[in-house]
């Protein structure tokens, strides 16, 4: 996927459609296809080489908002404290979870999705082949 082939993530729309709901809505397995695709692109852009993306910072806000929404949900609160080092780790783990969900939706490989309790916990991932698999549209 060409990084700039999709529109920049609209944070107001993300807020209305995902962040206004429970923290579970930010889990990759619960994201609608269009959000999963945009957030996957955003996460790829965050780690892209400088010549691939003109402004990598344009792509960090959406995934970061989702990670923060999940962290607040995990803590059961409306505020909290997280170090930059931990936030960096969570951001990378979220990228992995998003890619696992893309694999589950697009291939015959079924990956157990993260839950609010298991995400960012260094979980083990159950993987299996899906019998009778049919690809789904984005």
Q: Give the model confidence (pLDDT) of 30-60 as tens digits.
A: 999 999 999 999 998 887 765 566 666 778 9
pLDDT at 2 over 70: no
Domain boundaries, given as residue ranges, for the chain = 3-129
pLDDT at 1 over 80: no
**Residue in this structure with the two tokens 């803590």, named with its chain if needed:** 75
Q: Which pLDDT belongs to residue 56?
A: 66
Q: Which pLDDT belongs to residue 62?
A: 95
What is the widest separation between alpha-carbon atoms in the chain? 45
Q: For the ranges 19-23, 110-114, 134-138, which has the lowest average pLDDT? A: 134-138
**What would the mean pLDDT of 14-25 be, rounded to a whole number?**
96
Q: Which pLDDT belongs to residue 77?
A: 83
Which CB contacts under 8 angstroms, 24+ apart, belong to 16-23?
18/66, 18/69, 19/65, 19/66, 19/69, 22/73, 23/69, 23/70, 23/72, 23/73, 23/74, 23/116
> How many Cβ atoms are within 10 Å of 56's Cβ, its own excluded?
16
Q: Which pLDDT belongs to residue 137?
A: 60
Name the pTM for this structure.
Answer: 0.86
Burial grade of 49 (CB within 10 A; 0-12, 13-18, 19 or more): exposed
pLDDT, tens digit, for every residue of 80-131? 889 999 999 999 999 999 999 999 999 999 999 999 999 999 999 999 997 7
25: CB partners within 8 A, 6+ apart: 18, 19, 31, 69
DSSP 8-state class, residue 112: P
């Amino acid at each position: 996927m060409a990084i700039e082939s999709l529109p920049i993530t609209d944070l107001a729309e993300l807020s209305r459609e995902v962040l206004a709901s429970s923290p579970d809505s930010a889990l990759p397995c619960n994201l609608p296809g269009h959000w999963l695709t945009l957030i996957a692109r955003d996460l790829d852009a965050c780690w892209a080489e400088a010549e691939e993306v003109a402004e990598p910072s344009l792509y960090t806000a959406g995934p970061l908002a989702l990670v923060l929404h999940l962290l607040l949900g995990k803590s059961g609160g409306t505020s909290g404290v997280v170090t930059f080092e931990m936030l960096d780790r969570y951001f990378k783990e979220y990228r992995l979870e998003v890619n696992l969900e893309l694999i589950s939706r697009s291939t015959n490989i079924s990956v157990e999705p993260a839950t609010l309790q298991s995400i960012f916990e260094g979980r083990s991932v159950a993987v299996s082949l899906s019998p009778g698999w049919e690809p789904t549209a984005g």
